[in-house]
Amino acid sequence: MVQSRPDGASSSLIDPEERSVSGPSVVAGFAAALTVWTTWYITHLPALGLRESLSIPIILWAWSLSIFVCVRGLGNRAVTIGLLGGGVSAMLGLLILGSKLVAPGGAPAEGTVPSAFLIAAGFVAGGFFLGALWGVVGSFVPREPRSEAWLPKFAIVAAMSVIPLLVAGGLVTSTDAGMAVPDWPNTFGSNMFLYPLGPRVQPLMGEAYRDVYLEHAHRLFGAFVGLTTLTLMVWTLASERRRWVKVLAVVAFALICVQGVLGGLRVIENQRVLGAIHGISGQLIFGLVVAIAAVMSRPFRSLSAVDAPANPRRLRLVTTAALHLTLLQLVFGAIYRHFRSDHVLYSHIAFSVLVLIAALVAGFLIRGRIDSNPARIGCRVFRRTGALIVAAVTLQFLLGWLAFFAGGKAIGAATTLQALVRTAHQANGALLIACLTVAVVFARGLTAVSSARQGAAAA
């Protein structure tokens, strides 16, 4: 049976199932790698001062848990998927393992340590073993009824991979560490993926280590996001039937490449204006990847004319207006973070009231106009998005005032607390943009199916 979709296509345009192990293995591998990278970043933050004897077990447990979550309930396939997913995550992890393969020094790396090859090979072998081990454990979990469409799940992983990149970039801006590494694409003349980081290096570099770590780790996350969006683009071009979704995936990857070059130019030219543009475009790209994940999702594809309220165009208008106002507010915020202009600050504060009102109206309108029938997954997700918009914009408003009173006035935060407050405000703003993006996508979908119903009735 062919059913109408919110994009005007039919259900036959999307493969309902993917029975091979390749799809879930890629999803498990990248999801586990994202967990490992994020855990590595947090446990190696200079402010925490954790020893490797403590950080390494934490990373291993996070790695294990992420693989188990991905493979549990997959039956007999869990072992194979765990094995392959663990291998994929380990190979992606080589990009951060490279900092362990060179002698510490804080200067350009002279070369790898004699046992570098064995360390790298052992790490990859360990990834395969860890994946297989937790695949065996996951195979004993009762089989769960799951959608076998793995590309939409990977799109979610791709969107989530941008989050730590935004947070890491936010910390760079909050601490004014953007020029801690004065060259690009190398790091102090050495290969970016072989520059030493970690507790063994920190004492050798002194106070400069914090800024170098934040800036260099941000670059590494950029490389990971580039690989993730490249994989998303290739997979989308190979499997997705909707041409406009393919175009979005290509555009997202192209913009990620441009974003990387823009970040490099900010360093080479030492221009704060390029840093501000880099920060703004980063959040716009995040919104685009979130939109791709939303249009690929099962809740979006399940939207039908039954779900549409009497006047879906009103929802579309209100959510779109709220998103555009928030994006304009993002511009004010980015300019202030990089230049600390009082005029921009007061414009940012005044405009925050408009964003608060618009987002609250959008969130409550979604909750009030969308059916609460729990059996309809599209409606359920849309209503939850409305609640998230209300929560996110309220928290953002409060974080804005907290940043105003406790975030400090200088470009670089004077304390760790000030840096965290500023970065929390920036990161929650990205969450608000993501929620509003999903709302706009679903509102447009409901408008499309409603128009299709009216057209069919008129015919």
Over residues 401-455, the pLDDT tens digits come to 999 999 888 888 889 999 999 999 999 999 999 999 999 999 999 888 877 666 6
In a domain, 132, yes or no: no
In a domain, 426, yes or no: yes
Q: Return the residue matching tokens 């994020």.
A: 38
Number of domains in the chain: 1
CB contact at 8 A, 386 and 367: yes
In the beta sheet, which residues pair with residue 190?
Answer: 187
Q: In 3D, which of 123, 79, 86, 80 has the Cα closest to residue 101?
A: 123
CB contact at 8 A, 134 and 271: no
Percentage of the residues of the chain whose pLDDT score is greater than 90: 66
Residue 444 tokens read as: 């447009």
**256-276 average pLDDT score:** 93
Query: What does pTM read for this prediction?
Result: 0.91
CB contact at 8 A, 8 and 452: yes
In a domain, 386, yes or no: yes
CA distance 308 to 371: 9
Q: In 3D, which of 244, 242, 241, 197 has the Cα closest to residue 216?
A: 197
Contacts of residue 133, Cβ cutoff 8 Å, sequence gap at least 6: 64, 82
In a domain, 281, yes or no: no
**360-379 average pLDDT score:** 86
In a domain, 388, yes or no: yes
Please tell me whether residue 308 adopts helix, strand or coil conformation. Answer: coil
CB contact at 8 A, 175 and 93: no
**Which band of pLDDT confidence, cut at 50, 70 and 90, is reported for residue 208?**
confident
Residue 182 tokens read as: 């004065």
Instruction: Give the DSSP letter string of 363-422.
Output: HHHHHHHS---TT-HHHHHHHHHHHHHHHHHHHHHHHHHHHHHHS-SSSS-SSHHHHHHH
DSSP count for the chain of H helices, then E strands: 14, 0
In a domain, 407, yes or no: yes
The pLDDT of residue 12 is 36
In a domain, 142, yes or no: no
In a domain, 352, yes or no: yes
Q: Please provide the average confidence, as pLDDT, over all residues in the chain.
A: 89
In the beta sheet, which residues pair with residue 187?
Answer: 190
Instruction: Give the DSSP letter string of 213-232.
Output: HHHHHHHHHHHHHHHHHHHH
Phi (first) and psi of residue 444, to 5 degrees: -65, -40
Domain of residue 323 covers 304-459
In this structure, the dihedral spanned by the alpha carbons of residues 419, 420, 421 and 423, taken in order and rounded to 10 degrees, is 80
CA distance 189 to 186: 5
* Burial class of residue 279 (count of CB atoms within 10 Å of its CB; 0-12, 13-18, 19+): buried
Residue 15 tokens read as: 């493969």
CA distance 263 to 349: 28
**Which band of pLDDT confidence, cut at 50, 70 and 90, is reported for residue 457?**
low
**307-329 average pLDDT score:** 90
CA distance 100 to 89: 17
**Which band of pLDDT confidence, cut at 50, 70 and 90, is reported for residue 206?**
confident
CB contact at 8 A, 113 and 101: yes
In the beta sheet, which residues pair with residue 4?
Answer: 10
CA distance 227 to 13: 27
